[in-house]
């Protein structure tokens, strides 16, 4: 994505950009592969794409999906450079982790947290308290800025960065709850 942003910024300024890549696809380790390239890379040269998937040109598969916040400087830059017109933004429907041989959904509500196998009893109490604080937070009411008994510090969501918020959200836990903070997933749009 950084290459796209740099070339986008240069072209917005009227510069000409020429991309070179040693691979048959653009982007290196974080490339978005056409469906046929994806199958070849992971299933071999003779891999057949199932017909039920339709046209292979309708797909680009990210080798490393990117998550960004729904607003902020990165989104403004993507829009300014017209890079955003080549991307689809999707809401994050779920986040999962692999632990002890099973896949578990990362909880994003108090109810999900109480039944999650990812946390112990004390951690579940802390995350339920954190979710309660988030739900009751009012930017105009400083009384709601105090996060609760597990954090004695007053927190202001209007002034803290996402990184600071994630530290406060994750610090009482062994496993980060990324779905609570990540609201969009970026995947390059397939070329027509």
pLDDT tens readout for residues 22-51: 777 667 777 788 888 888 888 898 988 888
- The single residue listed with the structure tokens 């040269």 is 45
Is pLDDT above 50 for 98? Answer: yes
Has residue 188 been placed in a domain? no
Residue 138 structural domain: 96-176
Residues 154 and 103 in one domain: yes
Q: Does 84 share its domain with 109? A: no
pLDDT value at position 181? 33
Q: Does 19 share its domain with 79?
A: yes
Evaluate whether residue 181 is within a structural domain: no
What is the tally of structural domains in the chain?
Answer: 2
Within-domain flag for 184: no
Mean predicted confidence (pLDDT) in 98-121: 85
Last residue of a domain, one of 38, 58, 92: 92
| Model confidence, pTM | 0.44
Same domain, 87 and 115: no
Question: In this predicted model, what pLDDT tens digit does every residue of 172-192 receive, in sequence order?
Answer: 333 333 333 333 333 333 333
- Mean pLDDT of the residues in the chain: 72
Range picked from 53-62, 84-93, 149-158, 177-186 for highest mean pLDDT: 53-62
Answer yes or no: do 164 and 83 share one domain. Answer: no
Does residue 84 have a pLDDT over 50? Answer: yes
Q: Does one domain contain both 167 and 86?
A: no
Average pLDDT over residues 145-159: 60
* Rounded Cα–Cα distance for residues 127 and 63 (Å): 32
Classify residue 22: in a domain, yes or no. Answer: yes
Is 169 within the bounds of a domain?
yes
Helix (H, G, I), strand (E, B) or coil at 55: coil
Say if 85 falls within a structural domain: yes
The reported pLDDT for the residue numbered 13 is: 87
Determine contact, residues 187/35, Cβ cutoff 8 Å. Answer: no
Q: Is residue 113 part of a domain?
A: yes
161 and 144 in a common domain: yes
Cα separation of 147 and 133, whole Å?
6
Residue with tokens 């980060």: 176
Q: Work out the angle between the directed axes of helices 2-12 and 73-80 (0-180°, nearest 10).
A: 50
Domain termination residue (choose one: 92, 122, 139): 92
- Is 182 a domain residue? no
Residue 149 burial (10 A CB sphere; 0-12, 13-18, 19+): exposed
If asked whether residues 50 and 114 sit together in one domain, one would say: no
Q: Does 168 have pLDDT greater than 70?
A: no
- For residue 149, pLDDT over 70 is answered with no
Same domain, 15 and 88: yes
Rounded CA-CA distance 30/79 in Å is 21
Least confidently predicted of 8-17, 117-126, 154-163? 154-163
Give the pLDDT band (50/70/90) at residue 151.
low
**Which of 151 and 100 is assigned the larger pLDDT?**
100
Q: How far apart are CA 8 and CA 85, in angstroms?
A: 11
Distance CA 110, CA 113 (A): 5
Say how far apart CA 140 and CA 158 lie, in whole Å: 10
Query: What pLDDT does residue 161 have?
Result: 57
């Amino acid at each position: 994505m950084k290459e796209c942003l740099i070339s986008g910024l240069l072209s917005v300024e009227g510069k000409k950009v020429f991309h070179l890549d040693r691979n048959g696809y653009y982007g290196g380790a974080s490339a978005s592969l056409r469906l046929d390239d994806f199958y070849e890379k992971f299933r071999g040269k003779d891999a057949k794409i199932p017909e039920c998937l339709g046209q292979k040109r309708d797909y680009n598969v990210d080798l490393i999906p990117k998550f960004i916040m729904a607003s902020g400087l990165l989104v403004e830059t993507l829009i300014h450079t017209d890079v955003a017109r080549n991307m689809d933004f999707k809401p994050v429907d779920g986040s999962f982790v692999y632990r002890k041989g099973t896949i578990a959904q990362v909880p994003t509500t108090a109810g999900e947290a109480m039944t999650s196998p990812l946390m112990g009893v004390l951690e579940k109490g802390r995350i339920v308290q954190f979710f309660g604080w988030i739900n009751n937070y009012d930017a105009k009411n400083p009384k709601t800025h105090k996060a609760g008994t597990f954090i004695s510090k007053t927190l202001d969501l209007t002034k803290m960065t996402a990184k600071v918020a994630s530290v406060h959200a994750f610090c009482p836990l062994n496993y980060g709850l990324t779905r609570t903070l990540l609201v969009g997933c970026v995947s390059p749009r397939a070329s027509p």
